[in-house]
Chains A and B, each alone.
Chain A
């Protein structure tokens, strides 16, 4: 069991090392082969570990990392059902994305670098998933942050992409500061970084400290998961290649924040105010992002905002005390969101990097594979009754509804509103981009994409549509996932709501979704598609309520102004003053020199200079002997050095 877990972590790392060192010398097939084999191997390990674990928790320490007195930690893992499900999901989605990328990036010159970073990312994510020591988690945390930066700015030759990468990194860094402070507090209070230790000893914490810690963890999660107020980096992160968006910004890195909260859930449970804030942030972000997604014309940006919105749901679940629901939605979302991204990737590549949905069309005829795949994903995302994300989203809304506290009713309403908007924006894009265009343009597509890219996605589609089966609220296989996770601290397999409430919730959700889809049909299918003007209400939505501009004004512009001020007013004048001062000093000297040259130099011209030159020549010749390159000289120098050493030692002996 321990070997399996060790392999789980080491295989992707090994893939990274091999490709980093020798990828340049291998043919492309081999590079992709190594990377995919590494991740598929990790998938096998994850599945094996899940079977072997038999829904108990396992703790292993791989080796002692560092220790300075009391401040010590090890690289250890805590493999419980929560980690098991997460690891399986991560490796499964990553495998499909690796295989897809082998085809997607086929024409890219930086093939090797891509797969290196992809493998490294999977390693770091698995570290976050399984680690027990919070410092080890932090290692993985930083690792995914770095890989995200490297992969977003993958085509860094274009400055916009590099900027997007930097923006992502800086925003998540703000969250990491909170994590760092939390680490310090954890050590101060518990003397230990182990998650298991903290969870089992959390009961003794004072409410204030628990709230503080929970809020710091929330701060860390906000950065990674792109929740308010740190959402601004995710839409820009779409500058990276589509498989990157699918892996990092749909399935894994953005869920790392939620996952951290779930791992330390017993701690968060102790603080009702923190849970309230978490739920609030989640629901507000969900609605905010849903609004923004409604106005996007770039297909990837719509999916990005949709991700922000759905991750908001996961935060809402944690805030409502239901980590089973949160994890369920996390897994569902991973399936359908990565499916959507990858299908969109096929479309984008086929149409020569066209992202604008208003310039697409007739894709049912031209790209049938992508059409049906995207439709499957869209249905899942919309939480169509009985399919895909319906059960997970329904469960989250139910948990929020039955949670005591008036604020939670408001959150439920926000979540419901977001649930209404989700099918609306999803099918807006679907109806604009995919069906036949009225003017019949796009008679022939520009590029042919490999068929492989489409049919590798079908397993993902099946999972996306059918994953409701994981945790049905009733009937056969009831709460399967919930009971699997029963041993995870803080998990509630069943919500314990009255049956009537459950049915009412379910029907309400179904009704909302169907109404929204009908509205989308009438708005976007029946009428011709036009790009909306980006003014007023639509402009507000498009720019995400001007959050980017706000940050620009608060943070970026003052910094730039200060830098410009320092440069213009201080640096430049200083340089100029220096030059003028130097010239002023030299003026009397030059006068003096002229005088001396006339009076004195001519007198001593003959004797002095010649004599000095001759003397210098002799001196340089004598000195030059030291660098003669002669062996005997060097040996004498050695002895001289030794003599000096001994002499110094003898003279200072009395000081010993």
Chain B
């Protein structure tokens, strides 16, 4: 009665979330959706870390999750500012429109 699920189940859950986020990043054309995919991936990583922290009974995993959250917040702020900038510059948020990386 005193236990939760097997550890692998949490990893599969985190993996599923992660690959949902990855597919979102790869498949969608809107810049905002790409960023959302990144957020989902970060969240999934955090979930895996908390599960690991519980599995090994050490708090380092949870500390890392805090840092991940902070970094995600910072990244979202800058990313959205960039999106605003792009929208003002080119009037479109379609990823296919940005072809300047081509040689």
Contacts and interface: CB of A to CB of B under 8 A. Distances in A.
Contact of B26 (A627, A629, A639): A639
Given A630-B96, A632-B29, A639 B101 contact: no
Interface in B31-50: 34
B94 to A, nearest CB: 9
Interface string B4-26: 00000000000000000011011
B100 interface: yes
Interface of B: 22-23, 25-29, 34, 95-96, 98-103
B34 to A, nearest CB: 7
A240 to B, nearest CB: 51
15 contacts: A627-B103, A629-B100, A629-B102, A629-B103, A630-B95, A630-B101, A631-B95, A631-B98, A632-B26, A632-B96, A634-B101, A635-B25, A636-B26, A639-B25, A639-B26
Nearest to B22: A639
Nearest to B34: A635
A642 B22 CA distance: 10
Contacts of B96: 630-632
A638 B34 CA distance: 13
A630 B98 contact: yes
Interface string A615-647: 000000000000111111011101100100000
A638 to B, nearest CB: 7
B26 A635 contact: yes
A638 B100 CA distance: 18
Contact of A630 (B26, B34, B99): B99
Interface of A: 627-632, 634-636, 638-639, 642
B71 to A, nearest CB: 19
B98 A627 contact: no
A639 B27 CA distance: 10
Contacts of A632: 26, 28-29, 95-96
A419 B100 CA distance: 83
Nearest to A631: B95
Contacts of B26: 632, 635-636, 638-639
A638 B41 CA distance: 14
Given A631-B98, A636-B27, 10 more contacts: A629-B101, A629-B103, A630-B95, A630-B96, A631-B34, A635-B25, A635-B34, A636-B26, A639-B25, A639-B26
A454 B90 CA distance: 74
A595 B25 CA distance: 57
A310 B99 CA distance: 77
Nearest to A639: B26
Contacts of B100: 629
A553 B96 CA distance: 75
Contacts of A638: 26
B22 A631 contact: no
Contacts of A639: 22-23, 25-26
A627 B23 CA distance: 21
Instruction: Enumerate the 7 nearest inter-chain pairs by beta-carbon distance, A residue then B residue, closest first.
Output: A629-B102, A629-B101, A629-B99, A631-B95, A639-B26, A632-B95, A636-B26
B102 A627 contact: yes
B19 to A, nearest CB: 9
A628 B103 CA distance: 9
Nearest to A636: B26
A636 B100 CA distance: 17
A101 B96 CA distance: 67
Nearest to A629: B102
A635 B24 CA distance: 10
Contacts of B22: 639, 642
Contacts of B23: 639
A309 B70 CA distance: 77
A59 B95 CA distance: 69
A627 B27 CA distance: 17
Contacts of A630: 95-96, 98-99, 101-102
Contacts of A627: 102-103
Given A635-B26, A639-B26, A628 B34 contact: no
Nearest to B101: A629
A628 B99 contact: yes
Contacts of A631: 34, 95-96, 98, 101
Contacts of B27: 636
A627 B100 CA distance: 11
B33 to A, nearest CB: 11
Nearest to A640: B26
A412 B57 CA distance: 87
Nearest to B29: A632
B92 to A, nearest CB: 12
A632 B27 CA distance: 7
Nearest to A638: B26
Contacts of A628: 99, 102
A628 B95 CA distance: 12
A636 B24 CA distance: 10
A629 to B, nearest CB: 2
A635 B33 CA distance: 13
Nearest to A642: B22
A130 to B, nearest CB: 50
Contacts of B25: 635, 639
A298 B102 CA distance: 68
B69 to A, nearest CB: 23
A636 B23 CA distance: 8
A642 B98 CA distance: 23
A627 to B, nearest CB: 6
A634 B26 CA distance: 8
Nearest to A627: B102
A135 B97 CA distance: 63
A637 to B, nearest CB: 9
B26 to A, nearest CB: 4
A635 B95 CA distance: 10
A595 to B, nearest CB: 43
- Which interface residue of A628, A630, A634, A638 has the most chain B CB atoms within 10 A? A630
A639 B25 CA distance: 9
A402 B19 CA distance: 94
Contacts of B95: 630-632, 635
A632 B29 CA distance: 7
